[in-house]
Structure 1
Amino acid sequence: MALRVEPEDAGARLDQFIAAKLGGQLSRSRVQSLIERGHASVDDVSVAEPKRRVRSGESVRLAVPMPEAPEPAAEDIPLTVLFEDAELIVVDKPAGLVVHPAPGNWTGTLVNALLHHCGDSLSGINGVRRPGIVHRLDKDTSGVMVVAKTDLAHRSLAEQFAAHGRDGRMERAYLAVVWGTLPRPVGVIDAPLGRSNSDRTKRSVVPEGRPDARHAVTRYEVVERLGEQASLVACTLETGRTHQIRVHLSHIGHPLVGDDVYGAHFRSKARKLGLVGEAVERFGRQALHAFRLGFEHPATGETMLFESELPDDMRELCEALRRSSAE
């Protein structure tokens, strides 16, 4: 692509000039990398210095190479697509699907599925033809996820998730089935999270002064009391810490049904509940579903809102708990 330096552009850094002229199609860091790798020229002379100042009347060219092939392999894995356009894709992730390849899960992930589904419509994130993962759901958490297909969408969505709705652009809400009856119909759990002292793979509520303490706030509202044994709760996040909802609800004495990491001490409770206990054992995961996701479209500025109904396994779990209270 060729760009002409107008009088008002004179004196700008080469990387700033190109990034501005492209209107956000490429990030400044991506432009810098391309210049340093020899993909830019001024008046047909190669330039590898991003800080070089441009002069009025110069012709600047930037050659953007085709995105490199992705390392994960594309796999034909069924997806429930709620929305898709040139910038992004919104999917309803099933429980049991890992989001990103990692040791022990190099295949069969959401990324593998998206590489197959999206194909050449992925314009590339930082020069690599791959989907842009801007947030994650645990393997056993189901629900709505948005994934970027372009650099522009990746940057915008990452900024929105980093703000956690404080700027009004994003909304995230979850449904959880928790043990017991919460003392209040609505509440706020404001407790910092850090690594567990007993298991470095887990998170726990920690003192504010601890070096790894991270501010964490979860708001909850009881949607339905499922008898005396459990409750259906809606949760919204003001922060986005790892395992935040699971740790916070366990901290106040109401861990998620089926959560063997943060609610293992309730396993014996389930076994005493007869048919309900059998239903919990069959459920086999933490009862958490990301049912609502709202955000601002990166390209159009339109407010997007997507919702997903409770998956069959959570709905059947709720029905079993309701029946137990009526018997």
Structure 2
Amino acid sequence: MSKDTGILEQEEQDLYEHLRLVVDKGQSLLRIDKFLMTRVENATRNRIQNAIEAGSVLVNEKPIKSSYKVKPFDVISVVLPHPPRDTEVYPEDIPIDIVYEDQDVLVVNKPAGMVVHPGYNNYTGTLVNALVFHFQQLPQLPGNDGRPGLVHRIDKDTSGLLLISKNERSMAYLAKQFYEHTIARKYIALAWGDITEDGTVTGYIGRSVRDRKVMDIYDDETRGKWSVTHYKVLERLGYVTLIECQLETGRTHQIRAHMQHIGHPLFNDATYGGDKILKGTVFSKYRQFVDNCFEIMPRQSLHALSLGFEHPTTKKHIYFESSLPDDFSGVLEKWRNYVKQTSPII
């Protein structure tokens, strides 16, 4: 998506005023980015300039450039495409499944259905709300407001392992490993269709032009970020296949979008079309069987299985695995029994 397209899309959205300033009558001429740095808490010049470039800073109701010099009685507004809200993360007493903890890092096993960090329409009940209750002074990356300790994330309805930093030093060290793609992450997924061999999916991943909540794969580097997923067949179950996915990159919805792109959406992934019967027979008994599976696991069949990284203090490589949650293992067992009870399907 081009910068111009992004600005047009923002203009088409409802904009909400987050900050309004009236310049004092005695103010001398001063660049607006320098002016706002002294008046917006925790703002850096780079963040202010990015907001100006995105058209989010208005003077007298008109967008301006960073070089604009404020004058007495100018009315300055910061507008964004979401309602203003207190950005402080409030602690909540929510249990956390801790797999590993030391003075630098925390590895947690996130249940499906839990949002990782507060965001639009999900301001409470998140993993971060739980973390700030159980741990004090978690660090934040620059520009990562409201996400203390997080160096990566997994989707709400994906279960599995998540890595948390407990101090600034470890956060910087781990963030660098994620940036350089040296963190070893494997996921296990149940995908529609009979996948016969291992493979790799690549492409530039970006927002769909049809639905901004969905990611598409493009050949054009201006449309998204480069993404690579390697998948390996673990078990063929007729109309579905159990696979292991290893990430080289960590983009939004990467595995889900990649598998849909090659014609194998994840089982019961509503966002990517996997919540319908995509393979199988027309018999009502089969339809009932699939519906029962959907009820057991009312989410995409994706689990963050393992996580390996170089420890920020010891510099040793450490590795963790988590077992499949009950809903995933229950659906998997049902498919295994279905295959046993029926003649060869494909």
Paired residue for 1:52? none
Alpha-carbon deviation of 1:179?
0.8
What is the distance in 1 between the residues matched to 2:91 and 2:152? 20
Aligned to 2:158: 141
Q: Which residue does the alignment assign to 2:239?
A: 229
Among candidates 303, 306, 311, match of residue 317 of structure 2:
303
In structure 1, what is the equivalent of residue 218 of structure 2?
206
- The separation in 2 between residues aligned to 1:123 and 1:244, in whole angstroms, is 27
**CA offset digits 1:187-239 (Å, max 9, x no partner):** 11122212112111211111225x2232111100011112x111110000111
1:181/1:99 CA distance change after superposition, 3 Å: same
User: Structure 2: which 5+ runs fail to align?
Assistant: 1-40, 45-86, 342-346
Letter in 2 for 1:325: V
Which AA in structure 2 matches 1:72? V
- The residue aligned with 2:177 is 160
What TM-score, normalized by structure 1, do the two folds share?
0.72
Report the equivalent of 1:95: 112
Q: 1:263 to 1:123 in 2, by over 3 A?
A: closer
Alignment of 1:165-180 (within 5 A): 165=182, 170-180=183-193
- Equivalences for residues 118-133 of structure 1 within 5 A: 118-119=135-136, 122=137, 124-125=139-140, 131-133=148-150
Among residues 240, 253, 273, which one is paired with 1:243 in the alignment? 253
Amino acid at match of 1:80: D
Question: What residue in structure 1 maps to residue 194 of structure 2?
Answer: 181
**Preserved contact between residue 92 and residue 144 of structure 1 (Cα < 8 Å):** yes
Distance 1:103 1:295 in 2: 31
Shift of 1:99: 0.4
Alpha carbons 2:305, 2:322 under 8 Å: kept: yes
2: CA distance, partners of 1:323 / 1:135 = 36
The TM-score, its normalising length taken from structure 2, stands at 0.68
Contact 1:90 1:146 (C-alpha < 8 Å) held by counterparts: yes
Partner secondary structure for residue 337 of structure 2: helix
CA RMSD after TM alignment: 2.4
Matching residue of 1:217: 228
Which of the residues 133, 138, 150 maps onto 1:116?
Answer: 133
Q: Give the equivalent residue in structure 1 for 2:6.
A: none
What per-residue deviation string (whole Å, max 9, x for no partner) do you get for residues 152-197 of structure 1?
A: 01111111111112xxxx200000011111131x111122212112
5+ unaligned residues in a row in structure 1: which ranges? 1-32, 37-69
What is the distance in 1 between the residues matched to 2:216 and 2:146? 37
* Aligned CA distance change for structure 1 residues 320 and 123 (closer, same or farther; 3 Å): closer
Secondary structure of the equivalent of 1:143?
strand
Amino acid at match of 1:176: A
Query: Does structure 1 residue 312 correspond to structure 2 residue 316?
Result: no
Give secondary structure in 2 for the equivalent of 1:274.
helix
Are 2:208 and 1:191 aligned?
no
CA contact (8 A) 1:188 1:218 kept: yes
Partner Cα separation in structure 2 for residue 268 and residue 178 of structure 1: 10
Q: Give the Cα–Cα distance (whole angstroms) in 1 for the partners of residues 270 and 241 of structure 2.
A: 18
CA distance in 1, matches of 2:195, 2:244: 12
Q: Is the 8 A contact 2:92 2:133 kept in 1?
A: yes
Q: Which residue of 2 aligns with 1:261?
A: 271
> How much has 1:277 moved relative to structure 2?
2.8
Q: Is the CA contact 2:233–2:243 (under 8 Å) kept in the aligned structure 1?
A: yes
Q: Which residue, 90, 94, 105 being the options, matches 2:122?
A: 105
- 1 CA distance for matches of 2:232 and 2:97? 28
Instruction: Tell me if the contact between 2:277 and 2:287 (Cα under 8 Å) persists in the aligned partners.
Output: no
Tell me the residue number matched to 1:285.
299
Are residues 245 and 126 of structure 1, via their aligned partners in 2, closer, same or farther at CA, if it must alter by over 3 Å?
closer
